[in-house]
Amino acid sequence: MASKTNPVTFLQQVRSETSKVTWPSRRETMISTLMVFVMVFFAAAFFFAADQLMGWAIGLILNVGA
């Protein structure tokens, strides 16, 4: 069974651990955020194109297309 610590000790331990974290700079955060948005755009474009292509192909197969 785990030993219980009081809330004050717990918060001191949390503060001590967070001071050991190497936080990213503002520039690193902005670059990472931009990269995420770019990748989301490419993924959305890819899945849109794939959906359109599969819909067109299924329409041809089922003779529902134009």
Give counts: helices (H), strands (E), the chain.
Answer: 2, 0
- How many domains does the structure of the chain reveal? 1
Give residue 26's Cα distance to chain centre: 19
13-42 pLDDT tens trace: 999 999 999 999 999 999 999 999 999 999
In a domain, 55, yes or no: yes
* 32: containing domain: 25-66
Residue 18: inside a domain, yes or no? Answer: no
* Closest by CA position to 65, among listed 46, 49, 52: 52
Determine, yes or no, domain membership for 3: no
CA gap 55, 59 in Å, rounded: 6
pLDDT in tens, 39-60: 999 999 999 999 999 999 998 8
Residue 56: inside a domain, yes or no? yes
In a domain, residue 11? The reply is no
Q: Is the model's pTM score more than 0.95?
A: no
